Amino acid sequence: MGAFSMIEEALAVNSLEAKLWAIRDGLIICNQLLIRALYIELDAKAVIRLLTSKDDSYAQYAPIIDHCRNLLNLYPNWKIQHCYREANACADALLFIANRIFVY
């Protein structure tokens, strides 16, 4: 079992929650770098819907969703848009690197 699998199992994180945490962490980094305009592309329509609507059907994720929304509200100019996974070459490259680091 690779290190990433053990971490994921220990944290009991699913794909939706992992993407929400990644958005949160990215927003925190942008805030620390004093970035004021954001354009976010994401290949998860469910996450986009959760962040841009008042959907409360995922109450178990309410704290992380609220945190992401509060962080987004720090930015006067932000946009979040869906992109297909195949078009997200940067994320694919990072995933490839992460898999090599944590699996071996």
Contacts of 42 (CB under 8 A, 6+ apart): 19, 23, 48, 80, 81, 82, 83
What pLDDT digit, counting tens, does each position of 8-61 carry? 555 556 888 888 998 999 999 999 999 888 888 888 888 999 999 887 777 888
Determine how many CB atoms are found less than 10 A away from the CB of residue 64: 17
**Which stretch of 8-12, 52-56, 62-66, 74-78 has the lowest confidence by average pLDDT?**
8-12
pTM reported for the whole predicted model:
0.69
What length is written for the chain? 104
Residue ranges per structural domain of the chain? 3-103
Query: Comparing 35 with 103, which gets the higher pLDDT?
Result: 35
CA distance 5 to 11: 10
Tell me what pLDDT residue 87 has: 67
